[in-house]
């Protein structure tokens, strides 16, 4: 792509989402292509006032570092530009809405549907981790669904690079209460296994309709997390229960790794090397 883009190159349409420091709109490229994009608009004034410059920079750098090679499960960043008031991220438009919306509409997913979506999520997190990126805020709001029902992970504003020292990685709480790992709550430490914890919470939610740890207040939610206080509300297949049990383990060193998750009996029918089959849409 040649010269820098400007907001005038797009027709801004409906709002798709609202973050703490940004708003995402559907935008149509002017001219012949008429292509859809999701443009994330961050107000410069707001970012500076709220001290979020670091997060915006992280998001751009992370998406750029994940872009080489590319992966169907990671939202594509086409370009960025700015004007006097805003920063703009031109992202792939993912038209099927958030995974959260699907869970809320359907209540509980069938085992097979959950397996297919989780397999795509696991494959994506595996790729992300192989590039040294920890997402740190995986949750059903940050998982979008394509037209064909494939998962696309978005919102890398809380991400961090694993090559940083543990000190640089020590995090104040950046995630979302219900999916935050016990080690982040107790020791402000975050590693690949914190994303694995979130995957366990998401799997539970796909099968049960609600996340495993949810209190009346954030504090109550945190108390439930650190005491591993969760219950299956409706019967779940034993292999799912067994996998969730291997993931929701307080000690991150004892928690299942991505490799162990892929080898778990619940994923026995998944051929991890057959990417074409793995990424075939759920609706196809
Ligand atoms: N909401 C947030 N990001 C989005 C995207 N890339 N596509 C569609 N909706 C979104």
Summarised one tens digit per residue, pLDDT across range 109-149 is: 999 999 999 999 999 999 999 999 999 999 999 999 999 88
Question: Averaged over 38-66, what is the pLDDT?
Answer: 89
Ligand 1 midpoint to CA 95 (Å): 7
Give the ligand 1 atom nearest the CA of 94.
7
Measured CA to CA, the distance from residue 172 to residue 180 in angstroms comes to 11
Which one is catalytic: 9, 85, 126, 137? 137
Determine if ligand 1 sits within 6 Å of the CB of residue 27.
no
Complex ipTM: 0.95
- Annotation says 137 is catalytic: yes
CB 29 within 8 A of CB 9: yes
* pTM greater than 0.90 (yes/no): yes
User: Would you state the structure tokens that stand for residue 86, as one six-digit string?
Assistant: 């805003």
pLDDT average, residue stretch 247-275? 97
* pLDDT-derived band at 166, boundaries 50, 70, 90: low
Give the Å distance between the CA of 149 and the centre of ligand 1. Answer: 14
Scanning the structure block, which residue is given the tokens 């080489």? 68
In the reported structure, the alpha carbon of residue 63 is separated from the centroid of ligand 1 by a whole-number distance in angstroms of 14
Q: How far is CA 190 from CA 38, 101, 168, 270, in A?
A: 29, 28, 10, 29
42: β partners: 22, 87
């Amino acid at each position: 792509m040649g010269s820098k883009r400007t907001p005038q190159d797009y027709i801004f349409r409906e709002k798709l989402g609202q973050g703490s420091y940004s708003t995402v709109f559907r935008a149509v490229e002017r001219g012949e292509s008429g292509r859809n994009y999701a443009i994330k608009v961050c107000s410069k004034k707001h970012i500076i006032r709220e001290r979020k410059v670091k997060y915006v920079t992280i998001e751009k750098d992370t998406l750029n570092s994940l872009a080489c090679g590319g992966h169907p499960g990671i939202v594509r960043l086409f370009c960025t530009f700015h004007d006097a008031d805003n920063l703009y991220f031109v992202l792939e438009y993912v038209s099927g809405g958030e995974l959260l919306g699907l869970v809320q509409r359907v209540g509980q997913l069938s085992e097979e549907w959950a397996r297919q979506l989780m397999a795509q999520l696991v494959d994506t997190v595996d790729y992300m981790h192989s590039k040294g990126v920890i997402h740190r805020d995986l949750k059903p709001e940050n998982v979008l669904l394509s037209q064909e029902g494939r998962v696309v992970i978005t919102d890398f504003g809380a991400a961090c690079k694993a090559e940083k020292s543990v000190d640089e990685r020590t995090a104040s709480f950046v995630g979302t209460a219900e999916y935050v790992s016990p080690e982040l709550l107790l020791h402000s430490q975050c590693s690949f296994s914190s994303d694995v914890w979130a995957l366990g919470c998401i799997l539970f939610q796909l099968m049960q309709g609600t996340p495993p740890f949810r209190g009346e207040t954030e504090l109550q939610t945190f108390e439930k997390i650190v005491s591993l206080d969760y219950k299956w509300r409706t019967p779940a297949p034993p292999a799912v229960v067994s996998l969730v049990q291997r993931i929701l383990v307080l000690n991150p060193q004892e928690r299942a790794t991505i490799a162990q998750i892929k080898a778990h009996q619940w994923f026995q029918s998944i051929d991890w090397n057959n990417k074409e089959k793995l990424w075939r849409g759920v609706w196809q």
